[in-house]
Chain A
Amino acid sequence: MMNLLELKNVSKHFGGLQVVNDLSLSVAPGEILSLIGPNGAGKSTVLNLITGLYQPDEGDILLNGQSLLGREIHQITRLGIARTFQNLRLFLNMSVIENVMSAAYSRTHANLFEIILRTPSFRREEARIREMAQEKLAFFGERLKGYRLDQPAYSLSYANRRRLEIARAMMTEPKLLLLDEPAAGMNPNESLEVTELIGQLRDEAGLTIILIEHDMTVVGGISDRVIALDHGVKIAEGTFEQVATDENVVEAYLGRRQENK
């Protein structure tokens, strides 16, 4: 089976700091891949490389066999990669529904004249994306429904903001969804819920998912495959159990065991 996404020997450095070093990985369609590793291991940089925020120094990034290098961020999104941000980057002064609707930009076509004249085709399109946005928000149960749709995004709680960001990313109709610490700042119950949700995104929405997460219950609960990074180098790959017990991984997180002679 052909890989949806493939990183080939990708390297990236900032000044003298090698953040990603000769990294190769691939994701099959429908797979949930988790990236783990200590802080500063280069996980977020990998996401930024995939989404075009950074250009790699070496190597190639392929989506369905098509190179993503040299493309602009919004073009890559258009090709079917969407993401959420580690530090939440919502459009805070826009309403909840507008946050989601705005992400349909690359999937809508109304031009200036249709908009100014409010032609029927524009109205149809507008109604369609509004309905679609509500559908995406309905993924999160009752939380982001009803009267909350017209509230500004800044009025949402932290967990709801994370949910809204996922809904917004889904609105771009991606094939591949990159989640950067979706469970950060959530309590154990909410983390559990996020785990279920990621499963639903794959099963119901048919997405392929790359997940960065520090919460190992989330990672262990949902990942098909786990890749551990340290100092920009892949130190382990396999199922969660394999990676979690890998010597290198344990060492990266906890340090080397003192040998008792």
Chain B
Amino acid sequence: MSKDKIGKDEWVASYQQRSAGIVGWRGALAGISERLPTWAWFALVIAIGVAIPMLTSNTYIIRVAGNIALMATLAMGLNLVVGYAGLLDLGFVAFYGVGGYVYAYLSSDFSGVHLPTGLTLIIVIGIGLLFGLLLGLPSLRLVGDYLAIVTLGFGQIFVQLMTSMTRVNLPGHERPVNLTGGPNGIVNLDPFSILGFTANTVTDYYYVLLAVMVIILIVGFHLNNSRIGRAWRSLREDELAADAMGMPTRQLKLLAFALGAAIAGLSGALFAAWQGSVFPGNFDIALLINVYAIIVLGGLGSLPGVIVGSVLMIAIPEILRNVELAGQLFYLLIIVTLIATLRPRWQSVALLVSVIVFGLILKPILVALSPASFAALEATSSGFVDTIRNWLAIPIEAKAVGNLAFGALILMILLVTRIKDMRVRFIALIPTLYLLSFVWETRLSQEPSITRLLFVGVLLIVLMIYRPNGLLGERRVEVV
């Protein structure tokens, strides 16, 4: 039987060769990451996390880091449901909201109840499990898209209820009772306080959030490498086969929903304690999209991916608030993209030089043609930005021209992607890149709030084209 002369599989036979084929710094990096045991990765995440408040006293940075930890915790809950069990749950944020509101009820003057935080958290987790089970029930009958729209409805109902339950007639009360605080939410919540430790500062909360994130990370990791994790993934791969192999699919789905909801509830409670208040708007669809973006970006079903995803999804929009930093990153990104995509490599250098020369020639011509349209630019605080702005031919009506240029840029990008001839594409890239920096300086850098969204959108689109499985996701195949 072991005479392996027939049915030999070429793909498998050459597997190791090809996996060893990555050379250079990327190969070295891949080698290191493979050799590092899992606990070393945990230690690394914890070390970086713990070190942040020691390296900086800037509460803004610590607040952002806390937000990353919170979102990572929430996203790990979602990853359990969507990434492992493969259940497309679009009502997930409602559980986060339930956690937040339950915390608010149990630790504020709104209800007059002030329970110790430890007890509150246990209740929050219990209620999260319960709500997860209830919402999981439709998942037994619905699959895929149908489950998605039903759960989406539940998510919206939660926000609506929290907004509108301000005048509810209850038996035993003569006048309508305000149950949720409506759009004004519930404010002045008790701070997080457990085992004699009370969180007062941003740093305190950061450490609480980090600790919870690490605990959930370990829980997720242990679950994934167990009979339950394997059963969940089997369920995601092929429900019928999982059933036929003795896995009780209904129980497993309900368990995934309940555990995911409990984690979401816990994160919601921490969020409420940190913010000191809850409002219906905290749990709307924008947050849902953000959490989904995190797990999709990081790679569905990948725990390190969730961490990386939340760092990117939270940190990038924050970085883009700083115009100068955003500009530097923007140009760096362009250069890196060029170097990574153009072959042979000297082409990227030639292209950059060409663009610079193109700009230097274009500006005097435009100024000579229409001197009235141009004026000396006001200096900004950054020499880097000034240099670029002076290189570009920025007219007085920068806003209007910038809008036109934006349209032209989109057309150029579409054009460039359609051109097959490499030399023509190279030439077409020159004005495209010029337009890109023109649009950045006249419009994008001026309106960071829109640019942030645009940036994240472009990032997701590019990622989904080049790495549809997410940054750290495993390669996926559908039925072959």
Q: Is A110 an interface residue (CB 8 A)?
A: yes
Cβ–Cβ < 8 Å partners of B476 in chain A: 93
Once the chains bind, are B246 and A89 in contact (CB under 8 Å)? no
Within 8 A of B (CB), among A92-109: 92-94, 98, 101-108
Once the chains bind, are A141 and B4 in contact (CB under 8 Å)? yes
Q: Is A156 an interface residue (CB 8 A)?
A: yes
Q: Is A216 an interface residue (CB 8 A)?
A: no
Q: Is A142 an interface residue (CB 8 A)?
A: yes
Q: Is B413 an interface residue (CB 8 A)?
A: no
Give Cα A108 to B226, complex, Å: 10
Once the chains bind, are A83 and B244 in contact (CB under 8 Å)? yes
Q: Is B245 an interface residue (CB 8 A)?
A: yes
Cβ–Cβ < 8 Å partners of A115 in chain B: 222-223, 226-228
Q: Is B54 an interface residue (CB 8 A)?
A: no
Cβ–Cβ < 8 Å partners of B340 in chain A: none
Q: Is A31 an interface residue (CB 8 A)?
A: no
Once the chains bind, are A74 and B7 in contact (CB under 8 Å)? no
B400 to chain A, nearest CB (A): 51
Within 8 A of B (CB), among A126-161: 126, 129, 140-143, 147-148, 151-152, 154-157, 159-160
B433 to chain A, nearest CB (A): 39
Cβ–Cβ < 8 Å partners of A117 in chain B: 222
Once the chains bind, are B245 and A157 in contact (CB under 8 Å)? no
Within 8 A of B (CB), among A27-83: 51, 53, 72-74, 77-78, 82-83
Interface string of B466-480 (1 = CB under 8 A from A): 000000001111011
Contact of B247 among A105, A126, A193 (CB under 8 A): A105
Once the chains bind, are B2 and A142 in contact (CB under 8 Å)? yes
The chain B residue sitting closest to A153, CB to CB, is B237
Once the chains bind, are B230 and A105 in contact (CB under 8 Å)? yes
Once the chains bind, are B228 and A156 in contact (CB under 8 Å)? no
Cβ–Cβ < 8 Å partners of B249 in chain A: 74
Cβ–Cβ < 8 Å partners of A108 in chain B: 227
Once the chains bind, are B1 and A196 in contact (CB under 8 Å)? yes
Once the chains bind, are A159 and B7 in contact (CB under 8 Å)? yes
Give Cα A126 to B230, complex, Å: 12
Cβ–Cβ < 8 Å partners of A82 in chain B: 244-246
Cβ–Cβ < 8 Å partners of A112 in chain B: 228, 255
Query: Which of B10-18, B38-46, B160-168 is the contact stretch?
Result: B10-18
Interface string of B1-34 (1 = CB under 8 A from A): 1111011010110011000000000000000000
A68 to chain B, nearest CB (A): 14
Once the chains bind, are B240 and A53 in contact (CB under 8 Å)? yes
Give Cα A104 to B219, complex, Å: 22
Q: Is A225 an interface residue (CB 8 A)?
A: no
Given A91-B233, A104-B227, A169-B245, A148-B12 contact (CB < 8 Å): yes
Cβ–Cβ < 8 Å partners of B145 in chain A: none
Q: Is A168 an interface residue (CB 8 A)?
A: yes
Once the chains bind, are B477 and A92 in contact (CB under 8 Å)? yes
Given A91-B238, A93-B477, A105-B12 contact (CB < 8 Å): no
Q: Is B109 an interface residue (CB 8 A)?
A: no
Given A92-B479, A141-B1, A148-B12, A122-B226 contact (CB < 8 Å): yes
Q: Is A189 an interface residue (CB 8 A)?
A: yes
Cβ–Cβ < 8 Å partners of B2 in chain A: 141-142
Once the chains bind, are B241 and A85 in contact (CB under 8 Å)? yes
Once the chains bind, are B11 and A92 in contact (CB under 8 Å)? no
Cβ–Cβ < 8 Å partners of B234 in chain A: 91, 94, 102
Cβ–Cβ < 8 Å partners of B223 in chain A: 115-116
Once the chains bind, are B246 and A103 in contact (CB under 8 Å)? yes
The chain B residue sitting closest to A172, CB to CB, is B246
Once the chains bind, are A155 and B7 in contact (CB under 8 Å)? no
Cβ–Cβ < 8 Å partners of B231 in chain A: 102, 105
Within 8 A of B (CB), among A165-181: 168-169, 171-172
Contact of B245 among A105, A110, A126, A156 (CB under 8 A): A105
The chain B residue sitting closest to A200, CB to CB, is B1
Q: Is A118 an interface residue (CB 8 A)?
A: yes
Q: Is B243 an interface residue (CB 8 A)?
A: yes
The chain B residue sitting closest to A129, CB to CB, is B227
A143 to chain B, nearest CB (A): 7
Cβ–Cβ < 8 Å partners of A160 in chain B: 7, 9, 12
Given A93-B237, A101-B230, A142-B4, A73-B243 contact (CB < 8 Å): yes
The chain B residue sitting closest to A141, CB to CB, is B2
Cβ–Cβ < 8 Å partners of A74 in chain B: 243-249
A-B contact pairs, 25 of them (CB 8 A): A53-B244, A77-B243, A85-B241, A85-B244, A92-B477, A92-B480, A93-B474, A94-B234, A98-B230, A102-B230, A102-B233, A102-B234, A110-B226, A116-B219, A129-B227, A142-B2, A142-B4, A143-B4, A151-B12, A152-B475, A152-B477, A171-B245, A187-B6, A187-B7, A196-B1
